[in-house]
Chain A
């Protein structure tokens, strides 16, 4: 089955800095790579996703890049704000999704 590794497990940045979270996957059949944000006590919510036929996707301050050859994908958040503080999960799959273990992002004012 699919195996997804996510790094780092925690990330602290100053407001205005950029943050990068990286994931690797093992199954070359995976074609869908979403990123979810989860605030404390809340449900995960999709912030951006990418399919295997696309190398990069951007939505305002958030971007995702995918390298199919190396089987890794990354989340980039620019101009971080305190409200970006949350746990971020990557996932990969085809018919079902396998999630990484999460990255706790803390943005300090």
Chain B
């Protein structure tokens, strides 16, 4: 199993450009999430999905869109990049259980710089 994969590893954008960060998992996990990590801020939830066709906003959703057409893929779209979106982005997946949250498996991350 490849686990959780993310592309690209690094990206530099100019202000106003749009792009999509890709995330895929091969563990048949129902839950997938996007986090951003900034120095001293921990991991903050951007958007999450509890299954194909279902998405919801996290703590910091502004400026980002997501969709979940398949169980495996959960892309994150930046609509009009801003310098404040410079960050490291992590995708994570976890299995669904009746008891709530479970271990989240993280991808390797995408380091994004917006000039």
A→B interface (CB under 8 Å): 1, 6, 9, 31-32, 34, 42-46, 49, 51, 89, 91, 93-102
* Known contacts A43-B109, A100-B42, A102-B42: A31-B99 contact under CB 8 Å: yes
Instruction: Identify whether the interface residues of B are mostly helix, strand, loop, or mixed.
Output: loop
Residues of A near B35 (CB, < 8 A) are 99
Judging by beta carbons under 8 Å apart, are A34 and B45 in contact? no
Q: Are B100 and A95 in contact (CB under 8 A)?
A: yes
Q: Note all chain B residues with C-beta closer than 8 A to A101.
A: 40-42
Report yes or no: A1 in contact with B43, Cβ–Cβ below 8 A: no
Query: Does B84 reach chain A (CB closer than 8 Å)?
Result: no
8 contacts between A and B (CB under 8 A): A32-B101, A43-B108, A51-B99, A94-B100, A95-B50, A95-B101, A96-B33, A98-B59
B42 A89 Cβ-Cβ under 8 A: yes
A51 to chain B: which residues have CB within 8 Å?
Answer: 99
Closest-by-CB residue of B relative to A29 is B100
Is A99 in contact with B43, judged by CB distance below 8 angstroms?
yes
Q: Give chain B residues whose Cβ lies under 8 Å from the Cβ of A32.
A: 99-102
Which residues of A lie under 8 Å from residue B74 when comparing CB positions? Answer: none
Q: Considering the complex of A and B, which 5 residue pairs feature the smallest CB-CB distances, nearest first?
A: A32-B101, A43-B106, A101-B42, A99-B42, A99-B43
Q: What residues of A have a CB within 8 angstroms of the CB of B102 in the complex? A: 32
Q: Mark B34-60, 1 if CB is under 8 A from A, else 0.
A: 010000111111001010000000110
B42 touches A96 (CB 8 A): no
Chain A nearest CB, measured from B28 CB (Å)? 19
- Are B103 and A49 touching (Cβ within 8 A)? yes
Given A1-B59, A99-B43, A31 and B100 touching (CB < 8 A)?
yes
